[in-house]
């Protein structure tokens, strides 16, 4: 960001301008203003990912162990699956097993931009030391951040906006679901227990210095995001958003790249307003949404609920979609659910990207042409999940290889093509 402010083109900017087919000077200006962030820690040897206005909407996949299910091999496989099906980044949200070892393993095996929530590691260390999470010291918190930065983590979710003032307001403004952000909840409980300000807020300048050293991006976590439709767009959420807006400004002043996390659970008729409000409150910081889910009743199908919300959010200006898997609200996702989550969210992102980028639209155009000419192999090859498309067609193979088993000889394309050809002779 400092180079961008100085008018310089960095290697990362060149890479992204080329990859996305955008003008490098426009990109530099966007980075300088903080409207675009480039995710890559200087210590991490991966291809950078750009997030923000004028670039493609990106997809993140969360992976990681839980206290109940610790299987590092499975998490590595999940990261590989996420990459294979087109996630742009992953977040390692592990909370069980040896956290640093798991992170090192995933980063070694799957070279892609990675994000983490360092406070989970600080909390995990307390449990390892048989202590309560709220007994964590300020140093414990900062040490976690520093160790993630040293490891080369590209973007760090930190809940700086969960301030003492916000916690006071939580008491006065009750919610139906309450707080559902794990990191946000740790901070809220810590503030209540210790009767002190959030150390990341209190020492925000120091935090920014650490981040600047590695050119890492701070992802300002929305600790007070709604956990259900009844709490959507409430005072607590918006109060925190405006706090985050001020934090974005301070980060930019220090040359630190900042993006902003958003909800969560939003009724379909409030999504656009949420995105616009976030863009205003944060002066167009890259906006990273989780879902959002447009209904609470679809446990087992929240990848679909999130694809609906994500597509609408992206269309309204959200820059980065965090996937949701079918296991959300029920369990830690397995490998198949990670795949379904990535594909659903990618459909949402692509649906918007194709309206903005010629080459994204070309994919759909080629598919349309393959369908029109009944070139089945090409249709299957162009499908977002080729193996699955081939499997479905093979399972129910038609008598005539030109058509499919839905319409058979009633195939509209075939009839009219045959007919018009006949007419011409």
- Is 404 annotated in some ligand binding site? yes
Q: Can you tell me the distance from the alpha carbon of 288 to that of 89, in angstroms, rounded to the nearest whole number?
A: 12
Q: Which of 286, 328, 338, 342 binds its own copies (CB under 8 A)?
A: 328
Contact track, its own copies, 334-373, x by CB under 8 A? x--------xx--xx-xxx-xx-----x-xxx-xxx-xx-
Closest distance to its own copies from the beta carbon of 293 (Å): 9
**Tokens linked to 150:** 């040293």
Q: Which of residues 107-126 bind its own copies (CB under 8 A)?
A: 120, 123
Q: What is the C-alpha separation between 324 and 328, in angstroms, rounded?
A: 6
Q: Is 408 left (phi over 0), alpha (psi -120 to 50) or beta?
A: left
- Total residues binding its own copies (CB under 8 A): 107
Q: How far is the CB of 34 from its own copies (least distance, A)?
A: 26
Residues 240-259 binding its own copies (CB under 8 A) are none
- Tell whether residue 277 is among the known ligand binding residues: no
CB of 138 to its own copies, least distance (A): 19
Between strands 36-39 and 49-52, the pairing is antiparallel
Residue 334: CB minimum distance to its own copies, A: 8
Residue with token string 């048989």: 130
356 annotated as belonging to a binding site for a ligand = no
Site string for its own copies, 23-62 (x = CB under 8 A): ----------------------------------------
DSSP string computed for 69-130? ---HHHHHHHHHHHHHTT-SEEEE---SS-HHHHHHHHHHHS-S-EEE-HHHHHHHHHHHTT
Instruction: Choose the stretch contacting its own copies; rule: CB under 8 A; options: 1-9, 35-43, 255-263, 299-307.
Output: 299-307
CA atoms within 13 A on the CB side of 183: 26
Percent helix, percent strand, percent coil in the chain, to nearest 5: 55, 10, 35
91 is in an annotated binding site: yes
Q: Rule CB under 8 A: choose which of 331, 335, 375, 402 binds its own copies.
A: 331
- Cβ atoms of residues 175 and 236 within 8 Å: yes
Under rule CB under 8 A, residue 86 binds its own copies: no
| DSSP annotation of 294 | S
- Closest CB 179 distance from its own copies, rounded Å: 5
At closest approach, how far in Å is the CB of 247 from its own copies? 21
265 assigned to a ligand binding site: yes
3-class secondary-structure state, position 404: coil
Is residue 297 part of the contact set for its own copies (CB under 8 A)?
yes
Instruction: Rank residues 32 and 57 by Cβ distance to its own copies and give the closer one.
Output: 57
Residue 72 binds its own copies (CB under 8 A): no
Question: Which of 41, 89, 95, 163 is the binder for its own copies (CB under 8 A)?
Answer: 95
Nearest CA-CA partner of 55 in 96, 15, 5, 105: 15
Task: Name, in order, each residue with C-beta under 8 angstroms of 173's C-beta and a sequence gap of 6 or more.
Answer: 234, 235, 236
Among 106, 251, 304, 318, binds its own copies (CB under 8 A): 304
Q: How far is the CB of 19 from its own copies (least distance, A)?
A: 20
Q: Taking CB under 8 A as the rule, does residue 67 contact its own copies? A: yes
Site for its own copies in 210-239 (CB under 8 A): 227-231
What one-character DSSP code corresponds to residue 8? P
350 is in an annotated binding site: no
Q: Closest distance between its own copies and the C-beta of residue 248, in Å? A: 24
Contact 227, 185 (CB under 8 A): no
In the complex, the smallest distance separating the C-beta of residue 337 from its own copies, rounded to whole angstroms, is 8
CA atoms within 13 A on the CB side of 113: 25
Shortest reach from residue 227's CB to its own copies, in Å: 7
Report the site for its own copies in 150-189 (rule: CB under 8 A).
175-182, 184-186, 188-189
- The answer to the question of whether 261 is labelled as a binding residue is yes
> Is 273 a binder of its own copies (CB under 8 A)?
no
What's the CA gap between 317 and 404, in Å, rounded?
38
Tokens read off for 290: 């989780």
Alpha-carbon Rg for the chain, nearest whole angstrom, is: 23
CA distances from 166 to 52, 75, 243, 278 (A): 28, 35, 9, 18
**Binding site listing for Zn(2+):** 265, 329
**Binding site listing for [4Fe-4S] cluster:** 404, 407, 411
**Binding site listing:** 62, 91, 120, 159, 181-183, 222-225, 261, 265, 288, 329, 404, 407, 411
**Binding site listing for substrate:** 62, 91, 120, 159, 181-183, 222-225, 261, 288
């Amino acid at each position: 960001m400092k180079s961008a402010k100085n008018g310089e083109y960095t290697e990362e900017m060149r890479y992204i301008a080329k990859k996305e087919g955008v003008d490098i000077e426009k990109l530099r200006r966007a980075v300088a203003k903080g409207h675009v962030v480039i995710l890559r820690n200087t210590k991490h040897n991966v291809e950078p990912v750009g997030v923000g206005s004028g670039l493609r909407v990106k997809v993140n996949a969360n992976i990681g162990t839980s206290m109940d299910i610790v299987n590092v091999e499975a998490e590595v496989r999940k990261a590989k699956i996420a990459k294979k099906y087109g996630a742009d980044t992953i977040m390692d949200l592990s909370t069980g097993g040896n956290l640093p070892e798991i992170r090192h393993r995933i980063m070694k095996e799957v070279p892609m931009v990675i994000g983490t929530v360092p406070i989970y590691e600080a909390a995990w260390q307390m449990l390892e030391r048989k202590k309560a999470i709220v007994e964590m010291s300020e140093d414990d918190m900062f040490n976690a951040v520093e160790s993630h930065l040293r490891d080369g983590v590209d973007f760090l979710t930190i809940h700086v906006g969960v301030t003492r003032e916000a916690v006071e307001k939580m008491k006065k403004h009750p919610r139906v679901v309450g707080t559902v952000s794990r990191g946000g909840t740790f901070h809220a409980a810590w503030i209540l227990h210790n009767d002190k300000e959030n150390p990341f807020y209190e020492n925000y300048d120091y935090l920014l210095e650490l981040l600047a050293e590695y050119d890492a991006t701070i992802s300002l976590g929305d600790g007070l995001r709604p956990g259900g439709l009844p709490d959507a767009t409430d005072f607590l959420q918006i109060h925190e958003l405006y706090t985050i807006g001020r934090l974005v400004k301070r980060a930019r002043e220090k040359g630190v790249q900042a993006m902003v996390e958003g909800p969560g659970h939003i009724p379909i008729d409030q999504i656009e307003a949420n995105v616009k409000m976030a863009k205003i409150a944060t002066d167009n910081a890259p906006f990273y949404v989780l879902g959002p889910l447009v209904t609470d009743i679809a446990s087992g199908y929240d990848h679909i609920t999130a694809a609906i919300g994500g597509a609408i959010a992206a269309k309204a200006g959200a820059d980065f979609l965090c996937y949701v898997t079918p296991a959300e609200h029920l369990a830690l996702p397995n490998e198949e659910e990670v795949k379904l989550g990535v594909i659903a969210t990618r459909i949402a992102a692509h649906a918007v990207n194709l309206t903005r980028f010629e080459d994204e639209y070309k994919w759909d155009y080629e598919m349309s042409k393959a369908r029109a000419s009944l070139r089945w192999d090409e249709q299957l090859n162009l499908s977002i999940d080729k193996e699955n498309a081939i499997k479905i067609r093979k399972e129910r193979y038609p008598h005539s290889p030109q058509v499919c088993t839905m319409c058979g000889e009633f195939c509209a394309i075939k009839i009219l093509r045959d007919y018009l050809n006949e007419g011409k002779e």
